[in-house]
Structure 1
Amino acid sequence: MTYRNQFDKELEELKISLIHMGDMVIKHINEGFQSFLSLDSSLAQSIIEKDKLVNEQEYKIEKECMRIILREQPVAKDLRLITAVLKMITDLERIGDHAADISKMTIFMENTHHHFETKQAGLITKACAKMISQALESFVNNDIELAYEVIREDDIVDNYFEEIKNAVANAIRSSSIDADYALYLMMVAKYLERIGDHAVNIAEWVIFSITGEHKKLNPI
């Protein structure tokens, strides 16, 4: 195996590790939201505890990136790719934190009386998971158009968030929602909206890895 082939193999393994981390946080988001809907405190607690696995994966990837940089001294596109990975794992770790935060809302809600549902909460969760998956897919395939599509999809997440806010506000005015539950639901929606922002960050770093330009389209 030539030096270049070995180096390419290391970069591919780095991508695989990143995808694994992404799959972990997507699973935690979906399970965290499910725990909230069903008030399943056992599931919520398990997600909170599993957040350490996301942190461990971040450390593992960061360590591997630094090893490659020190040993291979990559330049140009190779260096951009590794830099992008280092940035993306930070966003994935924050997404994992938000999944744990959603699960904490489930535990806080144990003594509330909830009977209010909004379909937008489920839709925003699916939209966020899709954005993360597509952002990572765009990285693996060097698909800049898909990365830009992820950035555009953040508008959908923002719209769902606004719809949830309006629905909760109307329910509060009509006294058809428990006050504590309204607060926790809004916090969950905000965590999901932030997850969408982190997915945009990942897409921005994909674009950087391909073009060498990092245009900040997100305030995070």
Structure 2
Amino acid sequence: MADKINLVQKKRVQLQAAIGDLGALVIQALNQSVVCLKAHDLILAARIIEADAAINQQRRLLEQQCLVTLAAYQPAGEDLRALGACMELVSELERIGDYAGDVASVMLKIGEERLPPEPVAAILGVAGNAIAMLTDALDAFTSNSDESTARAAVVREAQVDRDEEAIIQQVLGRMRTDAGFALTGTYLLWIVHNYERVADRATNVAERAVYVAAGQTPDLN
């Protein structure tokens, strides 16, 4: 019995570490999307989209490992919660990686036309907060942090929502007075929404960390 428990805990540690590795790939893609937006780097945009295949492949591999571990070891208690959370976070992280690719795709649609610096600067602020939330939430999950640490990881979620709303109003205001800005404004709204969704899904990661630590799932959104 003790040997089985040790094996389950070993697999749990391995899978949580693998979730951390997948998260690192996703965060790298998000940071690259920020550079792409800030520098209007279309070559980097194409690379981000190409690299998304590696994230998708890693998701499939980790899903299989999670399923095999759950079936073979039939964990219980905190180990079961952790392995079940790993299964959920594999999908969550893959979707967050898609947001980086979506930003890159928008940049390629925009082409060589430069975006106005003021809304771009505001969007970069939203992106920075969202990526920081995801980083902290993943750290809380992979390090088996306590409930308070997991909750603290995503306290900026309300600020991200407020900042997104301010950008939306700013962009819509200009679109109302300048018909020629409509397409550019639409692109800006797409981009900021992708980063806001990163923050939303970071709260899901934090909720999983709380669930593992405390056995209950809060609503942190």
Whole-Å separation in 2 of the counterparts to 1:164 and 1:137: 29
Aligned to 1:92: 93
Unmatched runs of 5 consecutive residues or more in structure 1? none
Question: Which of 192, 200, 212 is the equivalent residue of 1:197?
Answer: 200
Whole-Å separation in 1 of the counterparts to 2:53 and 2:146: 31
Aligned to 1:37: 38
Unmatched runs of 5 consecutive residues or more in structure 2? none
Aligned length, in residue pairs: 218
Aligned to 2:129: 127
The answer to whether the Cα contact below 8 Å between 2:55 and 2:97 also exists between their aligned partners in 1 is yes
How big is the shift at 1:4? 3.5
Whole-Å separation in 2 of the counterparts to 1:27 and 1:177: 34
Whole-Å separation in 1 of the counterparts to 2:81 and 2:115: 48
Superposed CA offset, 1:137-195 (max 9, x none): 11123221122123432101111101211221333345498332211111000011111
Aligned to 1:150: 153
Verify: 1:78 aligned to 2:79, yes or no. Answer: yes
| Secondary structure class of the residue paired with 1:48 | helix
Q: TM-score, normalised by structure 1?
A: 0.90
Verify: 1:165 aligned to 2:168, yes or no. Answer: yes
Whole-Å separation in 2 of the counterparts to 1:211 and 1:187: 36
Q: TM-score, normalised by structure 2?
A: 0.90
| Secondary structure class of the residue paired with 2:156 | helix
Verify: 1:7 aligned to 2:40, yes or no. Answer: no
Amino acid at match of 1:103: A
The answer to whether the Cα contact below 8 Å between 2:4 and 2:73 also exists between their aligned partners in 1 is no
Superposed CA offset, 1:92-127 (max 9, x none): 111011110000001000154533433321111111
| Secondary structure class of the residue paired with 1:117 | helix
Aligned to 1:48: 49
How big is the shift at 1:47? 0.6
The answer to whether the Cα contact below 8 Å between 1:28 and 1:99 also exists between their aligned partners in 2 is yes
The answer to whether the Cα contact below 8 Å between 1:33 and 1:125 also exists between their aligned partners in 2 is yes
Whole-Å separation in 1 of the counterparts to 2:134 and 2:115: 30
Amino acid at match of 1:125: A
Change (3 A) 1:116 1:142: closer
How big is the shift at 1:59? 1.4
Whole-Å separation in 1 of the counterparts to 2:34 and 2:180: 19
The answer to whether the Cα contact below 8 Å between 1:112 and 1:178 also exists between their aligned partners in 2 is no
Whole-Å separation in 2 of the counterparts to 1:120 and 1:130: 16
Aligned to 1:18: 19
Verify: 1:182 aligned to 2:203, yes or no. Answer: no
